[in-house]
Amino acid sequence: MILVGLALVAVGVADLCASGLGGEIASARRAVAATVIALAVAVIGLSVTSNADAPVTAVFLVIVLLASLAWSVLRLPRFRTNRPWLAIIALVAPLSILAASSGSLTAAPSVPAMRWLAALPFPAIVEIGMERLCLTAGAAIALMATANGIVRAVLASAGALEQAEDRLRGGRLIGAMERLMIFGLALAGEPTAAALIISAKSILRFPEISRTAQRDDDHSHQAETSEGESSAQPPAVDAVTEYFLLGSLSSWMLALAPIILLRS
């Protein structure tokens, strides 16, 4: 679990530094920067928190390098336009392999790290141990910029990103805060409070979605034929509603996914 947590920390920190909270990689230079930062964070984190042997260290660093490089490169404009879902596969596949190999790829916590953990004045954090602490920290960091990048790739794959992104402001910041709150409440065993956050977001966003949908309806009515007959096409789901639902569901799934590992 330490290696999975450190990998999430490395990718999450790299995304925050290279792409900001939005999770976008605009140039090849930023993709290279993200890869270098992820590898550096992985090396530092592994040396500080664990006593992994040389083969485990080598495999871990190769996985982080491949995951960060592919994840960053496949989010470049030239790639995300055609097959944005490839970026998700490039990120999830190496991390899944690392998690599935946790039985053979093991790294014991280092003595300085355990002493630091034992000296913390927070008994609840001390009790969870170094492995779960690394995984929790990695998940929390990855739920910001990295998760925003995943949600953007999901929306782009469904064709909902370009149509409605500029109509619902603040989605990236709201999404990151929402995921962290849901993750924290679910981790604390408060699913009811997490459900209230989901309900509150839907209620607060509803007027804005309704106004946007009404404006779209007005534009469509103006485009009707002179005889007053509409264009014989079946009614479609409003682009903003689809953007909101797909983005929110993806965001909630990402917030709850780390709980499975932490509860296992």
Phi-psi group of 241: left, alpha or beta (phi > 0 → left; psi -120 to 50 → alpha; rest → beta): alpha
Q: Please check whether residues 195 and 260 belong to one and the same domain.
A: yes
**What's the structural domain count of the chain?**
2
Predicted confidence at residue 6, as pLDDT, reads 93
Q: Please check whether residues 177 and 212 belong to one and the same domain.
A: yes
Predicted confidence at residue 199, as pLDDT, reads 77
Would you say 2 and 138 are in contact if contact means Cβ atoms under 8 Å apart?
A: no
Predicted confidence at residue 32, as pLDDT, reads 94
Q: Please check whether residues 111 and 207 belong to one and the same domain.
A: no
Predicted confidence at residue 235, as pLDDT, reads 40
Q: Which residues contact 31 (CB under 8 A, 6 or more apart)?
A: 18, 25, 69, 72, 73, 75, 76
**Among all chains, which residue has been given the structure tokens 């300085």?**
112
**Low pLDDT (below 50) residues in the chain:** 220-221, 224-237
E-only strand ranges, the chain:
none
Strand partners, 109: 50
Q: Please check whether residues 63 and 127 belong to one and the same domain.
A: yes
Predicted confidence at residue 248, as pLDDT, reads 83
Q: Please check whether residues 211 and 184 belong to one and the same domain.
A: yes
Q: Please check whether residues 15 and 128 belong to one and the same domain.
A: yes
Q: Please check whether residues 149 and 241 belong to one and the same domain.
A: no
Predicted confidence at residue 230, as pLDDT, reads 45
- Rg (C-alpha) for the chain, rounded Å, is 21
Give the global pTM. Answer: 0.82
Q: Please check whether residues 165 and 149 belong to one and the same domain.
A: no
Q: Please check whether residues 133 and 38 belong to one and the same domain.
A: yes
Between the CA of residue 63 and those of 38, 168, 224, 255, what are the distances in Å?
Answer: 11, 36, 55, 23
Q: Which domain holds residue 89?
A: 2-157
Q: Please check whether residues 36 and 130 belong to one and the same domain.
A: yes
**Among all chains, which residue has been given the structure tokens 């490395």?**
10
